[in-house]
Amino acid sequence: MTATDTGPQREDRLDYYLRWRSLSGPYFDWQVEQFRPFLGQRIADVGCGPGTMTALLAPSRELYLGVDLDPRLLEALRHTYRDIPCVKAFAGDITTEACRDRLRAERIDTIVCSNLIEHIEDDTLALRRMAEALPLGRYLCLLVPAFPALYGTFDAIDGHRRRYTKAMLRDRVRDLPLAVRHLYYFNSVGAIGWLVKGRMLKEQQHREENFHLMNLVTRVLRPVERLVHPPFGISLIAILQRQSA
């Protein structure tokens, strides 16, 4: 493997996520921008990895709680932010009642969940546990990969079970105490790149050039998509508000 070939199945998982974090700062900031109007003071970042979005979510908060299943990723998060008192982390499975109860005990008022539920077999159960953990009126800020037609080698490498349409996500939350406040596609140009590289060319690695290109695209596309949401995108953004059961 060369130094520019990346993917969680091709290099150490921690190294991959640290590389991803270091190369994709502008893109992560664009993602978090979608959530900022809905963020409270006590945030759970479910599927946090080694702290991919921690620097964007933790400042000025009462609590940032990173939740992940991988203890090595969580240890990296704790080490990086060891001098920031509001940052905490714990190993938990979001499909369990125990994880839900921990979020309740921490008085979490916002859940951010980015690129996680596509990895989970029972994604509806994961959404249910997150909904149950939230106070009434508060928000689950969700980002998932969009469009099953885009599924390709990159999805397989990343361990994705599925990609979503708006209809699929609405179906997942139909019987849950969650109201869909916003639902839109995100990063239209990225979808084209994913289609070409991951489905048509069937590339087997995330190369550094892909991350650099994504950052360049972000500069141009970010102000455009602030004005109008595209009819397709590499991701789907959902802002879900906790309702009474």
Q: How far apart are alpha carbons 241 and 181 in whole angstroms?
A: 7
If you search the block for the tokens 């839900």, which residue do you land on? 100
Q: For residue 104, what pLDDT is reported? A: 98
Q: For residue 212, what pLDDT is reported? A: 80
Q: For residue 10, what pLDDT is reported? A: 46
Q: For residue 6, what pLDDT is reported? A: 42
Residues 242/137, Cβ–Cβ less than 8 Å: yes
- Name the token pair of 30: 């664009």
Domain with 139, as residue range(s), is: 5-242
The count of domains in the chain is: 1
* Strand residue runs (E) in 115-243: 139-145, 178-186, 206-207, 235-242
Q: For residue 188, what pLDDT is reported? A: 96
* Beta pairing partners, 164: 146
Q: For residue 11, what pLDDT is reported? A: 53
- The predicted model scores a pTM of 0.92
Per-residue pLDDT of the chain (245 residues; tens, 9 = 90+): 223 334 454 457 788 788 777 778 899 999 999 999 999 999 999 999 999 999 999 999 999 999 999 999 999 999 999 999 999 999 999 999 999 999 999 999 999 999 999 999 999 999 999 999 999 999 999 999 999 999 999 999 889 999 999 999 999 999 999 999 999 999 999 999 999 988 998 888 777 777 788 888 899 999 999 999 999 999 999 999 999 87
CATH number at residue 162: 3.40.50.150
> Which whole-number Å values give the CA distances from 27 to 56, 65, 244, in the listed order?
11, 22, 34
Q: Is 155 helix (H, G, I), strand (E, B) or coil?
A: helix
Q: For residue 232, what pLDDT is reported? A: 96
Q: How far apart are alpha carbons 40 and 112 in whole angstroms?
A: 11
Q: How far apart are alpha carbons 19 and 208 in whole angstroms?
A: 9
Four-residue CA torsion sign, 174, 176, 179, 180 = negative
Q: For residue 53, what pLDDT is reported? A: 95
Q: How far apart are alpha carbons 112 and 239 in whole angstroms?
A: 10
